[in-house]
Amino acid sequence: MGKLSMAAMLLILMFVSIVEAQVFDIGKYGGKPNSDIAQALTSAYKEACASTTPSKVVVPKGTYNLSPVKFEGPCKAPIEFQIQGTIIAATEKTTEPSWVRFSHIDKLTVSGGGVFDGLGPKAWGRCGKNAYCKNLPINFCFDFITGGLITDITCKDSKQFHVNVLGCKDLHFVRFTISASGESINTDGIHIGRSSGIKVIDSNIKTGDDCVSIGDGCSDITVEKVTCGPGHGISVGSLGKYEKEDPVTGVTVRNCTITGTMNGVRIKTWPDSFPGAVSNMHFENIIMNNVGNPVLIDQAYCPWNQCNAKVPSNVKISGVTFKNIKGTSSTPVAVKLACSGRFPCQGVEIADIDLTYTGKEAPAALSQCSNVKPKVSGKMNPPACSAPISAN
């Protein structure tokens, strides 16, 4: 028998634990199609969570409305939400920071092929940089979940971030779909903070911001076989904006395809920042299709001139590899390693890079470096660090 992937093993373990689960169908609690099922879903969850044997909360096929809900643990046994239908967010403005929140639950599964539609377009049209948009709800919040699987679920058109992961351990997203237009504002696909053992595997993310963003305090993060685009790419950071941020270590992004995004794979830190550390980052076997800034370390990340870009970043970056990254760049600079003048990047390796510029602004793609001396091997197109970084 061939060696099973970790994702496959987790699926099997989850299935074994819930195959004999007690079923709590929302229909038994008054949940009906074309009505708000918040109360029915909450009632079903409370009974399921109190069960001493594995339980399953079921939303059958159909279309339902849903006001903001919170599912708080701990529960007494493993619990699954089997969502078969389409769930549509309440259209009214809410002061809740999230639409659906799971917190302090061990051995949580969310599955079933269902769709969660956040009705984001109703809010995006009023967005920009105003305060209203800052307070829009996130579709899914997972807070302090240990041992979880989110699989065969579609998260659509969130008003803000689609998914926020905080303080979780061993939470896996497998065959998870996120769908929003490239014009949607601040709609990160999956944002991960202060968590470990998080995996995003065999998933498809289309959004208007980062497909996956990794914040401070994260370790052992894997993004594998993910298609990303439109969006802003796959990012570590931004880091260093706030005091006492925890280090980020052990991030692997591999076997992914990124298409039509603003950036590819990047690490971004603020200049004039608080101290921080990023280490053990690996980006490998990635296809770029018409991607802006396909390979990027940006230690002068300063959107909307919110900082003093002339003061070097205090975030230390070390142990970073970019390997076997191929495809096309929509901007002339295909590789840019702009490290801090105060703490130059250490232990950076680039190997087998083959990126072609598709535009007409320059005859060929460029590779720019500052405050870093990378180890270079294999094919290198464009030639590594062959162009200076122009001052802005």
> Catalytic positions, please?
232
Distances (CA, A) of 208 to 279, 308, 377: 27, 27, 34
> Virtual CA dihedral for 339, 342, 343, 349, nearest 10 degrees?
30
Q: In a 3-state reduction of DSSP, which class is residue 73?
A: coil
In degrees and rounded to multiples of 5, residue 5 shows phi and psi of -70, 160
Phi-psi region of 334 (alpha: psi -120 to 50; beta: other; left: phi over 0): alpha
Distances (CA, A) of 73 to 45, 50, 341, 356: 10, 9, 46, 50
Q: In a 3-state reduction of DSSP, which class is residue 22?
A: strand
Q: Quote the Cα angle for 290-323-354, to 5°.
A: 45
Query: What CA–CA distance (Å, rounded) separates 144 from 168?
Result: 4
Q: Which of 253, 204, 206, 197 is nearest to 226 (CA)?
A: 204
Q: Report whether 175 contacts 152 (CB < 8 A).
A: yes
Q: Which of 200, 181, 333, 199 is nearest to 260 (CA)?
A: 181
Query: What CA–CA distance (Å, rounded) separates 150 from 190?
Result: 12
Cα within 13 Å of Cα(380), Cβ side? 17
Query: What CA–CA distance (Å, rounded) separates 167 from 377?
Result: 38
Q: Which of 190, 310, 316, 325 is nearest to 254 (CA)?
A: 325
Query: What CA–CA distance (Å, rounded) separates 321 from 110?
Result: 34
Query: What CA–CA distance (Å, rounded) separates 61 from 112?
Result: 10
